[in-house]
Structure 1
Amino acid sequence: MTAPQRDLLQARELLLLPEVLLAGGPVRDHAVVVADGVFRAVGPAAELVEAHPELDPVHLDGHLLMPGFVDAHHHLTQSFGKALAFGEPSEIFRRIWVPLEQQLDPESAYVAAKLAALEALRGGFTTVAEAGTRARVDIGVVADAATDAGIRCVLGEVCFEPDDGERHLSRWDSAELVHPSLAIPIAEAAEHEVLHAVSRLCAEAGAVFQIHVNEHLASVERSLERHGRRPLEHLHDVGALGPQTLAAHATMLTPGELRLLADSGAAVSYNPVASGWKGNAVAPAALMAASGVRFGLGTDGTRGDGFRLTDAAELAQRLAFGLHNGDSSCGGGLTWLRHATAGGADAVGLGSVTGAVEAGRAADFLLVDLRVPELCPSWDLPWELVRLANRDQITAVVVAGRLRLWRGWPVDWDGRELLEEAAKTGREVVARAPLRKIHPLSTGCREEDA
């Protein structure tokens, strides 16, 4: 695609003819009409061209048009930490994330969140679910950063007072890209009545209640000691588990807890990279799919690359479960693409808004270059996208019908200037934070080995 095509993509109305369209599965000779930020029509190319003579077709030869990825679990204000958490034992939020976020002021929190949003957009995410910051700033700072970057955001605010939650849920009525949500970091952080009230408030408002559940062995055992129930069981007992609930991680589940998820209609954010980098276990996502449990894929702020996330999702299932029972497919490529897009949108409460190339949905989509050695010759595009594709193939990222990124960089603000600011600000914040690492940096490990 050329610079003139880039300019064409910035029109208010578009008739796009990609080589391949990912709508459910991959189809050829199809087109989409985009107007006023939504898909107005999707169908056979010849029919749409005839129906819209007022629009000049934009031919996207060699490109796939697909829904943008949905990150079902992120922490936008943790971006300054990155490799400081590598190689650390579980529950690093106690030693790294909380101390780091509590050093953020409004200016540095904005930079951290915008940096994370830029990385997510570069990786093909058009929506992120922010799980709630511990920074002592107004949540509007995070909303501004996401909006200015151009990404759709399910904006979780940590809430222990229902009155505060009501204000947050009504605050964003006129915001195009911000969808409010309430969050409690972990079940043990709130009393029974608060868990129930906040979850119920979300249910009544049609919002998502975000909470980390059954992530680490230590938290499961603390819950058993305190309540005689595992965290997910405890949420059910206090009336906080329902279709509005988005349970982050859910890596350590009993068969009974899987049944609770399926029966309650609660959703899960399956975060496979987080399991590999800093977790105790892998969520049984393939079993969730077979059991009717709703779930999306989340990065947990680890690595903002949607294609590598789908690869990790399938690979983690294969290593954790498939090798033991001879399942060499683990759902197939299309399964993970669906849960990274439409399934993720459903899990974060935006199932009618985004996640699919369908008439009436928000025009949140990617243009992916198929003319690369990794996909030549092509035999099974969904599998190839999961196992072989990468973010460097993403030519364009469009959110709400607006071109946001072209070949990895913003079209209407200076991404490289943000990097310079983030490098300086991030080092200042980390220098102030009372972080406690268990292991040294990798350079220190080398020195010890020497």
Structure 2
Amino acid sequence: MQSHEAQTDIDLLIEARWVIPVEPAGVVLEHHAVAVQDGRIADLLPSDEARRRYRPRTLRTLGEHVLIPGLINLHAHAAMNLLRGYADDQPLMRWLTEHIWPAEQKHVSHEFVRDGTLLACAEMLRGGVTTFSDMYFFPDAAAEAVLEAGMRAALGIVVLEFPSAWAADADQYLSKGLAVRDRFKHEALLHFTLAPHAPYTVSDATFERVRTLAEQLDLPVHMHIHETADEIEQGIAQHGVRPLERLRRLGLVGPNLIAVHSVHLTDDDIALLAREGASVAHCPTSNMKLASGASPTAALAVAGVNIGLGTDGAASNNRLDMFQEMRHAGLLAKLSSGDAAALAAGHLLHMATLGGARALGLDAETGSIATGKSADLCAVSLDDAATRPCYSPVSHLVYAAGREHVTDVWVAGEARVENGSLLHLHNNDLKARARLWQNQVAL
């Protein structure tokens, strides 16, 4: 008489035509399944074996889909979704000083940030993003929105020298931001970074405080740097060295630095970032739209620098679309380097997932499909005329598919998008909030 092994009860089993775990690199698994228990990945195995081994409370069978880790948006200003398209076709400093900063001074509040962040969360979840790293005012309001949406975020403790509706000076930015961290530190989906805005808006004394806090609290330092040529020229005129070198002398270039944009880099800059183990948050669409330039990502990758992808804010991109960022990052690297092999599709998917997780210090928690990690997952349908035939699902994710092909998203094992529909956020309410803010901003 043949014996049958007892099945194990689990919360969720997801079967897919392809599973791309990202780690190890280059692996594409066909007809595999991911078992989820208590919000974590319990197993990754062939679908037939999974059916024999597990008895799931919920079974999700995805025929012609690819299952990947949830995408990670390494740099966003989520609340700026309420300023989408507000001042297009302007160079960075004119865009900031003549349009964005005045609008922010007039309108930014706790309610503005909460509503704008909620709108951004809905857009990102629908596009397969399960984690984002934010830099904006009123991080307490952003935290409330993130928890309502049920996604993961690393919220920046923003630091500037000039006043805003959130804080009066650098000391208050830090004290209020750290208080928000203390308030939400027990929330499993919320993480924090120190977020000095940029070298041109933060003093040496404040940077020294940031460095001390980063060391004491083991927090990443998330900062705009070398975004424009003018920024570097001004930095040299004021401090005698390039901004990145100034940060090195202040002890801020290290494994916890997330150097956002990093467009204008010399060979010495690249070597410094590689030697110190810093990460780069590459925002190709925003950099192109603001004519800031093309980051030398091909050279950064060759040097071994960890790179993640970010959208920047919707005001300087218009979309929080990580599929667009993967595609643009690849095409821009090939064009600017003259090397069609630069940043292959697998590397770009790594940048959009595990690269971002590593930059945030969250690679033990998310960024790849591995046993023990949080079940932050995204399913993409390749069963469409626009994605047929499919010779390589990895290549298709970058060059053919888009966020419109995302069907299902899970965060910590909880379904947030199912069959293309948001489950916990209501479009009519979000659109109503957006209309109210548009009426105010447009006055």
Q: TM-score, with normalisation over the residues of structure 1?
A: 0.87
State the partner residue of 2:167: none
State the partner residue of 1:437: none
Give the distance between the partners of 1:198 and 1:14, measured in 2 at CA. Answer: 42
**AA partner of residue 314 (structure 1):** G
State the partner residue of 1:143: 143
Give the gaps of 5 or more residues in structure 2.
1-8, 160-169
| SS of equivalent residue, structure 1 residue 221 | helix
Give the distance between the partners of 1:163 and 1:395, measured in 2 at CA. Answer: 41
Structure 1 residue 319 and structure 2 residue 335: aligned? yes
State the partner residue of 1:86: 88
The alignment covers a number of residue pairs equal to: 413
> Contact 2:75–2:309 at 8 Å: present in 1 too?
yes
Give the distance between the partners of 1:108 and 1:166, measured in 2 at CA. Answer: 21
Residues 122-180 of structure 1: CA deviation (Å, up to 9, x unaligned) = 221111110233xxxx4211111122122211100213335555434433221122101
Structure 1 residue 124 and structure 2 residue 124: aligned? no
**AA partner of residue 259 (structure 1):** A
Give the distance between the partners of 1:207 and 1:255, measured in 2 at CA. Answer: 28
Equivalent of residue 177 in structure 1, options 189, 195, 200: 189
Give the distance between the partners of 2:284 and 2:125, measured in 1 at CA. Answer: 19
> Contact 1:78–1:101 at 8 Å: present in 2 too?
no
Matches within 5 A, 1:231-310: 231-301=243-313, 302=317, 303-310=319-326
| SS of equivalent residue, structure 1 residue 85 | coil
- Larger mean Cα displacement after TM superposition, 407-416 or 285-294: 407-416
CA 1:151–1:95: 2 relative to 1, 3 Å: farther
User: How far has the Cα of 1:308 moved from its partner?
Assistant: 1.4
State the partner residue of 2:166: none
State the partner residue of 1:30: 32
State the partner residue of 1:101: 104
- Larger mean Cα displacement after TM superposition, 407-416 or 228-237: 407-416
Report the aligned-residue RMSD.
1.9
CA 1:104–1:408: 2 relative to 1, 3 Å: farther
Residues 420-440 of structure 1: CA deviation (Å, up to 9, x unaligned) = 221222330343xxxxxxxxx
Give the distance between the partners of 2:56 and 2:77, measured in 1 at CA. Answer: 44
Structure 1 residue 428 and structure 2 residue 426: aligned? no
CA 1:164–1:395: 2 relative to 1, 3 Å: same
> Contact 2:16–2:62 at 8 Å: present in 1 too?
yes
Equivalent of residue 349 in structure 1, options 361, 377, 381: 361
Identity score, percent: 30
Structure 1 residue 378 and structure 2 residue 390: aligned? yes
Give the distance between the partners of 1:414 and 1:78, measured in 2 at CA. Answer: 20
Give the distance between the partners of 1:141 and 1:12, measured in 2 at CA. Answer: 35
User: How far has the Cα of 1:354 moved from its partner?
Assistant: 0.9
| SS of equivalent residue, structure 1 residue 203 | helix
Give the distance between the partners of 1:407 and 1:49, measured in 2 at CA. Answer: 22
| SS of equivalent residue, structure 1 residue 202 | helix
Structure 1 residue 394 and structure 2 residue 406: aligned? yes
Residues 391-448 of structure 1: CA deviation (Å, up to 9, x unaligned) = 11111111111111234432123122211221222330343xxxxxxxxxxxxxxxxx
User: How far has the Cα of 1:286 moved from its partner?
Assistant: 1.5
CA 1:408–1:207: 2 relative to 1, 3 Å: farther
| SS of equivalent residue, structure 1 residue 28 | strand
> Contact 1:121–1:397 at 8 Å: present in 2 too?
yes
Q: Which 4+ stretches in 1 moved above 6 angstroms?
A: none
Give the distance between the partners of 1:166 and 1:139, measured in 2 at CA. Answer: 10
CA 1:79–1:12: 2 relative to 1, 3 Å: farther
CA 1:409–1:12: 2 relative to 1, 3 Å: farther
Q: TM-score, with normalisation over the residues of structure 2?
A: 0.89
Give the distance between the partners of 1:114 and 1:246, measured in 2 at CA. Answer: 24
| SS of equivalent residue, structure 1 residue 79 | helix
CA 1:12–1:185: 2 relative to 1, 3 Å: farther
User: How far has the Cα of 1:220 moved from its partner?
Assistant: 0.8
Give the distance between the partners of 1:413 and 1:377, measured in 2 at CA. Answer: 34
Residues 260-300 of structure 1: CA deviation (Å, up to 9, x unaligned) = 10111111101100111013211111111110111100000
State the partner residue of 1:7: none
